[in-house]
Chain A
Amino acid sequence: MGNHSDGSPNHSGTVATAGQNEVEKFQDPGLPPHRLRLADTDPVAAKRAERQVAILFGTSVIGTLVFLVAYFAIDLGDDTTIATIRTQNLLLGLGTAFAMLGIGTGIVHWAKALMPDHEVSEERHAIRTEEDRQAAVRIVDDIVEETGIKRRPLIRNTLLGAVALAPLPALAIFGDLGPRPDKALAHTMWAPEGGKLKRLTRDPDGTPIKASDVTIGSAFHVIPEGLNELHEGKLNEKAKAVVLLMRLDPNSLNPSEGRESWSYNGIVAYSKICTHVGCPVALYEQQTHHLLCPCHQSTFDLTQECKVIFGPASRPLPQLPIAVDAEGYLVATSDFREPVGPSYWERDEHERLINS
């Protein structure tokens, strides 16, 4: 693009650093001359623009009618199908869209084509004048003087003290928003009740699971026995107690010391609540024996006691110790040996409590 014939040194460079402000600048030529539009000079064009605006407003009327027809003519009786609702939604939406866009585009077109488009210049005024400032200072001084607050420090100090304390009840009154956490997060429904071990049952119907039903490679979503019969706090209990049950080749499990008896014949049960922020770890990759949380992709390896092998979780999924009862059903031999779900400040304390 350039022309090298000039041969002169670099012209396009900048002026060096400082002193630039002293260099003469281009003068502001002022507002450019106004250009007339076609509709300003040609009455035919103006008439055409007028018609266009009227047509747009007319479109709006049609849109309103479409809405009303769609609202009253389409009946949502007891036997409505999704298709009817979709049709009505589409027509109501299109009606509204045309009603609004007709008015909107009509007005804007009117403004742009027919209203004067002279740009005008207006002076800005000082946001604050010195005169106002001085007057304000005098007023404030007078006010302070009249209250006498400077001369009477006792009044000022007691007022400050009173005002500082007054919001405390406003804070305290929110104290009953919730109960104290206490040890609620340390326990789940899996704890044996009255010496009776809880059976592992299917989510959501609550039927117990026989060990012989769990074939190698299969996985079950599990809830504790009795959960569905709860009347209060069912979801609270479910949010802590859900478990994934899987059966692997027993040789691929590598139980650590003390956990050898927590599985049965290659069947293992792990908490389904992610130790990251609590999503259900719902994806089981049968081939790799990985559990994946669909929310933030934490990945746990079943063959390493659900150790974190990828993603944002930092702790393995808690394991539920299981066995088989006399009738061949899977049962939990105890509650989880650590709190389930996301970490919290008192978690370590609770874990020590459970194991003590």
Chain B
Amino acid sequence: MSLIEIENLSVVFRAKGRDVRAVENVSLSIDAQESYGLVGESGSGKSTILRAICGMAPVSGGMIRIAGQPVPTPRGRAFSTQVQMVFQDPYASLHPRHTIDRTLAEPLAIHGLGDRDSRVVQALTDVGLPPAFRFRYPHQLSGGQRQRVAIARALMLKPKILLLDEPTSALDASVQAEVLNLLNRLRAELGLTFLMVSHDLAVIDHMCDRIMVLQHGRQVEELTRDDLAAARMTTPYARSLFDASADRMLDSPTEPAR
């Protein structure tokens, strides 16, 4: 049985009296410990799918099931011990006036979990940060360190599923490599399931077993990693994304697109 099942999901926002169909009839299923990628341009609805799973966007139609159970509305505490999200911008997703310690301990307090000190220290160690970082504020950390804190926070309740919304697009290339390596290590060690969103095909390819290409809120094509590497996409849109990918530029630096 699949861990995450999404059936004919639609998300409709009402803006200025007209309906904006952000996601239309998207279906996918993700097995336990699989890593699944969503790619597409801005406005393709990829982040909205993650937000709909978490209850941050309205589910206007269709069904979301986690481990066979339809997700409750509101999502509730049981849900947050299963599913957690890491956001794109580590500069915006951490509370600027809370110490790292307070940020990491908040989920513990909400869920009434004890042993706060050792859990916070363990979480920091897991993401490769020194325990002394507990007493710092977000502005005293670099972007990569902040994203590590955001990942640590997501792991505080030991969820099985991580939703990753462009987790490295705000980071430098070298820092991106470190964070991607960290995510892969944690996935292997903790047996996590990833649903990851990115506009960078090379990042998705590095991280994910299967990917779905989205455009204007609709699913265009589902590809395995091998299909992508061998350029076996069947739709023109997926091919145009592949061709425009920055990664491809390295192959023909002498023939720039003019």
Q: Is chain B a partner of chain A in the same complex?
A: no
Instruction: List the interface of chain A (C-beta within 8 A of B).
Output: none
Instruction: List the interface of chain B (C-beta within 8 A of A).
Output: none
